[in-house]
Amino acid sequence: MSAPRVALVVDSDAWGGAEVYARHLLRRAAAQGWQPSLVCSEPVAGGLVDAVPQTSVRVVPLLRHREHAGPALAALRALRPDAVLVNLVDPGSNAAVLAAACSVAPTVGTLHLPGDLDRGPGRDALTRLYGRLAGVLTPSGEGRDQVVAGLRVPADRVRVVPNGVDIPDQVRRPDVGRPPRIGVVARLTRQKGVDVLLRAVRTLHGGGVPLRVAVAGAGRDAAALAGEAADLPVTFCGFVDDVPAFLRGLDVFCLPSRQEALPLALLEAMAVGLPCVVSDVGEIRAAVDGAAVLVPPEDDRALADALRHLLVDGADRARLGRLARARAVASLDADLMARRTFASLRELTLRREPGGSPRAPSPV
């Protein structure tokens, strides 16, 4: 009996953690007993198309926020999957792609971040759409609660699967240089709080604390953030292809996000043994389990205090880096995430109806 076919759908306008997540799953699908294929939007195709055979890839236009997803529907029909897994940027913006997938095969959505559920008829339409899904996966309890309470998805069809990352053999070099170097890897949007980091850096720099800052990433706020940092010891590195190498050149990782589920950039930093200072949002507290410094979101004073301590205390930096690496190795491996994801996908989409017939795709 051949392995079931799963199509991953990635309808994104920029590369970020959700796209790294999809790449991890594509690379591990075969080992978990699935034949993978890919339907992805043009803006992120370059980072994904080499993860599966070219005959199993369909690149389509960006379809977020559109009312219809004809190109995605045609691509999925051509691939003939037994199940579809759709990457969801938020609950509603990929709705047309979700509807197209549901008409082809049992479909599971991966909700990376909670978001606006709309009101009135818009909420009702989204609720009906989520009612057609075989299930929803999410890395956070907040995401689970939103789809259960807000979109009335039965609780037994919603699974929390924590994120994971590749665990590299190489770790960071202790005390990379002087002055110490703080770094962040993030999409440059308000959500990630890079402006909060810049305010904390201004406090530290003004107080005579030696430091350098490297910001890796791109996004719509890049120009504004660069202007805000013009007189600070901050370098904007743009999009970085080799994230582990970038991280190994840092002394401290900082991600002061306003909202997260469980950011992959944080897990990657922990995996290379970096001491981390991050906002206490989403599932971060549970995931790091004492192996990172947590600060309230949007509190640049608390962030400055936490960074000041690690910048001047090399021994504590090393201690926290060892804790971070150990936590990543034990609980945050992408292999574990893939096993949990594909096990949930199998249970949700390949269940048999009473009488033994396979689940049919939802009607259009």
Summarised one tens digit per residue, pLDDT across range 113-148 is 888 777 666 889 999 999 999 999 999 888 999 999
* Higher per-residue pLDDT: 117 or 109: 109
Rounded CA gap, 108 and 130, in Å? 9
pLDDT-derived band at 175, boundaries 50, 70, 90: low
Percent with pLDDT over 90 in the chain: 79
Rounded CA gap, 72 and 74, in Å? 5
Reduced to 3 states (helix: H, G, I; strand: E, B; else coil), residue 167 is: coil
| pLDDT reported for residue 194 | 97
312-352 residue pLDDT tens = 999 999 999 999 999 999 989 999 999 999 999 999 998 64
Minimal CA–CA distance to 104: which of 81, 127, 126, 88?
81
Comparing 177-181, 201-205, 223-227, 294-298, the range with the smallest average pLDDT is 177-181
* Higher per-residue pLDDT: 141 or 61: 61
pLDDT exceeds 50 at position 98: yes
| pLDDT reported for residue 115 | 82
| pLDDT reported for residue 177 | 59
Q: Which two tokens stand for residue 343?
A: 């096990």
| pLDDT reported for residue 17 | 85
Q: What pairs with residue 352 in β-bridges?
A: 358
pLDDT-derived band at 268, boundaries 50, 70, 90: very high
| pLDDT reported for residue 173 | 67
| pLDDT reported for residue 176 | 55
Rounded CA gap, 172 and 176, in Å? 8
| pLDDT reported for residue 113 | 85
5-164+334-349: CATH, from 3.50.50.60, 3.40.50.2000, 3.30.310.50, 3.40.50.2300:
3.40.50.2000
Ranges of CATH 3.40.50.2000 domains, the chain: 5-164+334-349, 181-331
Tokens 């090393």: give the residue: 318
| pLDDT reported for residue 352 | 43
The answer to whether the beta carbons of residues 142 and 261 sit under 8 Å apart is: yes
Average pLDDT in the chain = 91
Rounded CA gap, 316 and 277, in Å? 13
pLDDT-derived band at 355, boundaries 50, 70, 90: very low
| pLDDT reported for residue 120 | 60
Comparing 87-96, 170-179, 181-190, the range with the smallest average pLDDT is 170-179
Minimal CA–CA distance to 83: which of 122, 43, 34?
34
Secondary-structure class of domain 181-331 per CATH: alpha beta
Rounded CA gap, 48 and 39, in Å? 10
Rounded CA gap, 245 and 241, in Å? 9
